[in-house]
Amino acid sequence: MSLPPAPVPGALLEAALYARDLDAAEGFYGDLLGLTKIIRHDNRHVFYRLGAGVLLIFNPEETVKPPHPGALPVPPHGAQGAGHVCFAMEREDIAALRPRLATAGVAVEAEFDWPNGAHSLYIRDPAGNSVEFAEPRLWQAD
């Protein structure tokens, strides 16, 4: 079977992480990292704007439930265990973030330069998700 050519998506529109404690997630992503909150819906989710994209933080205990009658037909979903997200940030801004993280008691899990010279710093959010800050050139094509 030969498939017809596929249209290729142009960008990542949204990424999702899962956290049972949305209050802690709001404190981390909103207060500590300064992301702009779009909406919080009860104990189900909190969404943040990042440039043209959106970071979705879902409570996995709520998103596995089927939609209520009359609600948007978003299929149940969720994940167990730690996820990963990487935010684009210039080297100088990564360095400037370190004292804020230290003051908040957030440990740096790893920090290094990749073979192409791009710099990355890794921490954990309150739910245990891996949060990376990396220079955008990490994924730039040669």
Position 97 in a domain: yes
Mean pLDDT of 17-23: 97
The CATH number covering residue 122 comes to 3.10.180.10
pLDDT at 22: 98
Q: Let me know: does 16 contact 56? Beta carbons within 8 Å.
A: yes
For residue 115, pLDDT beyond 70: yes
Mean pLDDT of 4-22: 91
pLDDT at 59: 96
Element (H, E) at 122: strand 119-124
Sequence-separated (6 or more) residues with CB below 8 Å from residue 117: 137
Number of independent structural domains in the chain: 1
Q: What percent of the chain has pLDDT over 70?
A: 99
Rounded Cα–Cα distance for residues 120 and 92 (Å):
12
Which residues constitute the domain of residue 36? 14-67+80-139
Sequence-separated (6 or more) residues with CB below 8 Å from residue 61: 20
